[in-house]
A and B are shown apart, each in its own frame.
Chain A
Amino acid sequence: MNRFVTFFKSQGFAILLFHAGVLLFSWPILSLATESGETYIFKHLLIGWAIIVALLVVVGQCILRGDKSDKGD
């Protein structure tokens, strides 16, 4: 569990997620969604966005949890 927390709150994961997010919402991934039809881009954006928000929930909780356990140490 601690490794999980450490991983999600790490700077490395944040940078990885940032780049993944930028890629997800930029060319060429977006072009694939655009060419697939009217609702695909809508779904792609909302679902991709929701996934990032969900991961941010995990990151936020890991930071808070990590902070508590740091204090506990």
Chain B
Amino acid sequence: MFNPLVVLFILLIYFGLLFILAQWVEGKSALSMRIAGSPLVYSLSLAVYCTSWTYYGSVGKAVTSGMLFTTVYIGPTLGIILWWQIMRRMVRIKNRYHITSIADFISARYDRSVSLAAMAACAALVGSTPYIALQIKSVVATFNIIAGDPGPTTSWVRDQIGPLSVILMIGFTIIFGVRKLDPTERHQGMITAVAAESIIKLTAFLACGIFITYVAHNGIADLFSDTRAMGIDLNKVITLSGPVDTPYSTWATYLLLSMSAIMFLPRQFHVSVVENGNEKHIATAMWLFPLYMLLITIFVVPIAMEGLRVGFDKSMADTFVLKLPMWYNRPWLALFVYIGGVSAAISMVMISSMTLSTMLTNHILLPIIRAIKPLEPLRRHLLRLKWFSVALVIVVGYWFNLAVGDSFMLVNMGMISFAAALQFAPCILGGLFWERGNKIGAQLALTGGIGTWFYTLVIPAFAKNDWAFQSIVSNGPLGIEILKPEALFGMNSMDPLSQSVFWSMLINTGLYVTGSMLFEAKATGMTLARDFVHILESSDKQPYRAGEATINLTSKTKTIVETLTHYVTKSDAGTMFVSSIRRAGLSGRRKVSLNELAELLGEVEKTLTGAVGAAEAHSAVMSADVYTDEERAKLSNMYAEILADLKLTPGELKKRVDYHKERESLLSNQAKNLEQRVKARTVDLEAANRELEAFSYYVSHDLRTPLRAIDGFSQALIEDYGDKLDAEGLDFLNRVRNASQRMGEIIDDILSMSRMSRMEVEREPIDLGEIMLEIVQTFREREPDAKTEIEIQANLKIDADPRLVRILLENLVGNAWKFSADKETPRITFGTEEAMGTTWFVIRDNGAGFDMQYGDKLFQAFSRLHTQEEFEGTGIGLAIVDRVVRKHGGTVRAEGKTDQGAAFFFTL
């Protein structure tokens, strides 16, 4: 016997150590992350299944019902055989839809139904309450065994251990699991603490078993022999299901309930599905957890036998495991066993109340708050709501213990919870394997199943203490015997638990199938159904929500900057990281999505590429331990999911890629062909153009001879026979001469243009001013009386063909000279001007100018804006100018105003 305060103090130290462990894991050091993310921790956390019910209640059940207690562990072992087919689906679905609880899972499958989530949450709450009550009961009862009462000064601890346990459980749960909001609903610190508790409870139970079997006795055979020697008939103790009329149905019912409980108890769903960080851990858990259950039950029968042998009362069988070390005067072993028992109870309460608080908050309180406007401000206090929910769940469990706890042995209370969890099975398994299963079917199933469970199991449980319920159980409601809860519809061939399971499952499954067959699901519900049922086929899908920022950027920053410091100084690494953050558009962000993290790493790689080259930068970023295994898997699956969203098999995708490659290749070939054809056409056109120019040259050249003949003979006719012709005849002959001379000028211009066209541009440095000066001198020599003022800007140097430029300037100066000749003070300037971002050469005059509306016709051959009588000319000059400029790759334009001069701009 220990002083109650000492026991309390030791317990507080134990949980303080667990808290330190959880904190260390939450600190996310490399080692702690490796441990927390290991399959061992995942498998051991599943042992939250082994609560104080297992720890103390198995021995109690072994004494009263023989080997029936083994079904509670053999059932899960059998169910676990199918985990790779079932649990893997659930984990993938959890990852894809970010499922946070079993109610969330059911809701997600059935068209994200709020009502279904609320129903499932209520069912989970009601179903788990007896189980939490059971844990509180065990903690209180065993404390009173281990802690003696040395005097009035410490007796208050014994008296108040119930409320004290409740307060401590609420405190532990909040500190371990609901201290802060975690959007992923994963609590690696808490799970590691639960795994540690699992080791403690297994070690303590094995220590007790080994002590009884191999220290107090010489093995199991010796123990059995000693037990027989005490006059105990082992045949009456080691039975299949105890003294019941229907041992096999009871056995089968327990097997079935346990098989479903391992997956569908809210806390089991939480640790196995929600807390799963890697689906491969399931493969390890598939053998490690059954092995754990085998080990923790292997000494149950020896302990039970020993308890009976030493003379403990059967009604106290639940406490044999604690009382025996004390009976053998091994107080420290007893204390160790007690700590193991408290570990079993506390871990269950923590996980259950945490997941129930999530369901209560998300699926019951928040919808209520949303519906009642005055309550809306409460939404900002989500964390406090969760704390309130935790407290509520545990307090209700305590109340249930006070109300009905004394009327039940531990194991019976556990079975009520198991039967409640079984009600989720049709909805979940149907949802995983039957596409047709729909929301209405699930709603009907849960309503019918939970209602039947409550009526046939919970009401009889209350009836042990409540007179009103006793009447219903004994006589049926309103005296209708056929509706007696423990013999519904007159079924009394099975024990109450079996008949409850039979009716609830019949109603539950029947309504699920009927509802699903009779009603059609909505399109969204059908899509979800297809996705759930085909989750394994659609790829190894893990969480993919590109937009959801759940990754703590701060934790990644250190790793990324460290990677950069392998190549640059720390300050430069910081600068590079900040610039990468800015380019990725993540400035000021604390949490990022996986997509954004990948983009950030892409930017970091780009930044680093500038320093170390692409290959090294890629290698550095790839080898940086930025992604966790889970994130790496998610990223990989994200790509797989993109592939799946394309609705293509990898084979089809390859075909399409090949098709596009082929198409690109064809297009490329076509483009090449087209280019070749253009080249060929250009060559043909150039040849044709040359032929045309040659033709026009030869035609023009050959026309000159007859024209000269016409002009010459007309002149001879005037000179030799002028006296024989009258005035009209002479006028006709003069007209013939003028026309032939004009035609000769046109032919000269055409020939000039033709020659110019055939010339290749040969650029060399020239001074346009000098050429202009030479041309002007020619004009002055030709017309010495002309008063034209010429102004030429100095230094007009450029690379151009001097022969062509001379032709160009002759034509432009000729035009300016001609059109300004009538002015009193003709003036021509030549220089450069800046316009439209380019330097233009400009020849301006103050001559006749032109109307700008006809400006576009200026550079067309044979196009004239003035009559022959006003100004002589052929209309070829500016066409030649245009060709010269174009040959140089330049531009020419003109500005002018009638009677106010003209300006010709050109570039070369």
Show the binding face of A for B, using Cβ within 8 Å.
9, 11, 14-15, 17-18, 21-22, 25-27, 30-31, 34, 37-39, 41-42, 45-46, 49-50, 52-53, 56-57, 59-61, 63-64, 67
Q: Shortest distance in angstroms between A24's beta carbon and chain B's nearest beta carbon?
A: 9
B77 CB contact (under 8 Å) in A30, A42, A52, A60? A52
Tell me which residues across on chain B come within 8 A of A59, comparing CB atoms. 81, 84, 283, 286-287
Q: Shortest distance in angstroms between A62's beta carbon and chain B's nearest beta carbon?
A: 9
A22 & B78 in contact (Cβ 8 Å cutoff)? yes
Closest 3 CB pairs of A and B: A63-B283, A56-B287, A57-B287
Number of residue pairs across A and B with beta carbons under 8 Å? 100
A42 CB contact (under 8 Å) in B238, B255, B286? B238
Separation of A9 and B2 alpha carbons in the complex (Å) = 52
B290-347 with Cβ < 8 A to chain A = 290-291, 294, 298, 301
A49 & B248 in contact (Cβ 8 Å cutoff)? no
Q: A14-B81, A30-B251 are in contact. List 5 more A-B contacts (CB 8 A).
A: A11-B84, A45-B67, A49-B74, A49-B294, A63-B286
Separation of A41 and B290 alpha carbons in the complex (Å) = 19
Tell me which residues across on chain A come within 8 A of B255, comparing CB atoms. 22, 25-26
Separation of A9 and B88 alpha carbons in the complex (Å) = 13
Separation of A18 and B86 alpha carbons in the complex (Å) = 13
Tell me which residues across on chain A come within 8 A of B234, comparing CB atoms. 38-39
Tell me which residues across on chain B come within 8 A of A61, comparing CB atoms. 283
Q: Shortest distance in angstroms between B417's beta carbon and chain A's nearest beta carbon?
A: 22
Separation of A30 and B68 alpha carbons in the complex (Å) = 12
B interface, by DSSP: helix, strand, loop or mixed?
Answer: helix
A41 & B298 in contact (Cβ 8 Å cutoff)? no
* B290 nearest CB neighbor, chain A only: A53
A42 & B81 in contact (Cβ 8 Å cutoff)? no
B84 & A9 in contact (Cβ 8 Å cutoff)? yes
B235 CB–A CB distance under 8 Å? yes
* B224 nearest CB neighbor, chain A only: A39
B280 CB–A CB distance under 8 Å? yes
B85 CB–A CB distance under 8 Å? yes
Tell me which residues across on chain A come within 8 A of B78, comparing CB atoms. 18, 21-22, 25, 52
B251 CB contact (under 8 Å) in A17, A21, A26, A42? A26
A34 & B240 in contact (Cβ 8 Å cutoff)? yes
- 15 CB contacts below 8 A, A to B, read A18-B78, A21-B74, A26-B251, A30-B251, A39-B224, A41-B239, A45-B67, A49-B74, A49-B290, A52-B81, A56-B290, A57-B287, A57-B291, A63-B280, A67-B280
B773 CB–A CB distance under 8 Å? no
Q: Shortest distance in angstroms between B793's beta carbon and chain A's nearest beta carbon?
A: 79
Separation of A15 and B83 alpha carbons in the complex (Å) = 11
B248 & A41 in contact (Cβ 8 Å cutoff)? no
B294 CB contact (under 8 Å) in A41, A53, A60? A53
A38 & B286 in contact (Cβ 8 Å cutoff)? no
The 0/1 profile, CB within 8 Å of A marked 1, for residues 224-255 of chain B is 10000000001101111000000010011001
B287 & A14 in contact (Cβ 8 Å cutoff)? no
B49-104 with Cβ < 8 A to chain A = 66-67, 70-71, 73-74, 77-78, 80-82, 84-85
B70 CB contact (under 8 Å) in A45, A57, A63? A45
Separation of A68 and B240 alpha carbons in the complex (Å) = 43
A53 & B280 in contact (Cβ 8 Å cutoff)? no
Tell me which residues across on chain B come within 8 A of A38, comparing CB atoms. 234-235, 237-238
Separation of A50 and B295 alpha carbons in the complex (Å) = 10
Tell me which residues across on chain A come within 8 A of B252, comparing CB atoms. 26-27
Separation of A45 and B80 alpha carbons in the complex (Å) = 17
B240 & A41 in contact (Cβ 8 Å cutoff)? yes
A52 CB contact (under 8 Å) in B71, B85, B280, B290? B290
Given A30-B251, A56-B290, A57-B287, CB of A42 within 8 Å of CB of B67: yes
* B228 nearest CB neighbor, chain A only: A38
B240 & A30 in contact (Cβ 8 Å cutoff)? yes
A interface, by DSSP: helix, strand, loop or mixed?
Answer: helix
Separation of A57 and B287 alpha carbons in the complex (Å) = 5
B284 CB–A CB distance under 8 Å? yes
B301 & A60 in contact (Cβ 8 Å cutoff)? no
A41 CB contact (under 8 Å) in B73, B238, B286? B238
B77 & A49 in contact (Cβ 8 Å cutoff)? yes
* B81 nearest CB neighbor, chain A only: A18
Q: Shortest distance in angstroms between B126's beta carbon and chain A's nearest beta carbon?
A: 30
Q: Shortest distance in angstroms between B680's beta carbon and chain A's nearest beta carbon?
A: 53
Separation of A25 and B238 alpha carbons in the complex (Å) = 15
B294 & A50 in contact (Cβ 8 Å cutoff)? yes
Q: Shortest distance in angstroms between B630's beta carbon and chain A's nearest beta carbon?
A: 16
Given A30-B251, A49-B74, A56-B290, CB of A64 within 8 Å of CB of B283: yes
B82 CB contact (under 8 Å) in A15, A25, A30, A60? A15
Of A22, A27, A46, A60, the most chain B CB neighbours within 10 A belong to: A60
Separation of A46 and B291 alpha carbons in the complex (Å) = 11
Tell me which residues across on chain B come within 8 A of A57, comparing CB atoms. 287, 291
A11 CB contact (under 8 Å) in B73, B85, B284, B294? B85
B284 & A64 in contact (Cβ 8 Å cutoff)? yes
Separation of A67 and B280 alpha carbons in the complex (Å) = 8
B287 & A17 in contact (Cβ 8 Å cutoff)? no
Given A25-B74, A31-B248, A52-B78, CB of A37 within 8 Å of CB of B235: yes
Separation of A67 and B281 alpha carbons in the complex (Å) = 12
B280 CB contact (under 8 Å) in A9, A37, A46, A64? A64
B256-306 with Cβ < 8 A to chain A = 280, 283-284, 286-288, 290-291, 294, 298, 301
Separation of A7 and B461 alpha carbons in the complex (Å) = 47
Given A52-B290, A60-B283, CB of A39 within 8 Å of CB of B77: no
Given A38-B238, A45-B74, A52-B77, CB of A14 within 8 Å of CB of B85: yes
B82 & A14 in contact (Cβ 8 Å cutoff)? yes
Tell me which residues across on chain A come within 8 A of B224, comparing CB atoms. 39
A53 CB contact (under 8 Å) in B84, B235, B287? B287
Separation of A38 and B240 alpha carbons in the complex (Å) = 10
Separation of A27 and B288 alpha carbons in the complex (Å) = 27
Q: Shortest distance in angstroms between B232's beta carbon and chain A's nearest beta carbon?
A: 11
Q: Shortest distance in angstroms between B221's beta carbon and chain A's nearest beta carbon?
A: 9
* A46 nearest CB neighbor, chain B only: B298
Tell me which residues across on chain A come within 8 A of B283, comparing CB atoms. 59-61, 63-64, 67
Q: Shortest distance in angstroms between A63's beta carbon and chain B's nearest beta carbon?
A: 4
Tell me which residues across on chain B come within 8 A of A60, comparing CB atoms. 283-284, 286-288
Separation of A39 and B305 alpha carbons in the complex (Å) = 12
Tell me which residues across on chain A come within 8 A of B239, comparing CB atoms. 34, 41
A56 CB contact (under 8 Å) in B74, B80, B238? B80
Tell me which residues across on chain A come within 8 A of B248, comparing CB atoms. 26-27, 30-31
B85 & A17 in contact (Cβ 8 Å cutoff)? no
B81 & A53 in contact (Cβ 8 Å cutoff)? no
Q: Shortest distance in angstroms between A5's beta carbon and chain B's nearest beta carbon?
A: 12
* A18 nearest CB neighbor, chain B only: B81
Tell me which residues across on chain B come within 8 A of A64, comparing CB atoms. 280, 283-284
Tell me which residues across on chain A come within 8 A of B291, comparing CB atoms. 53, 57
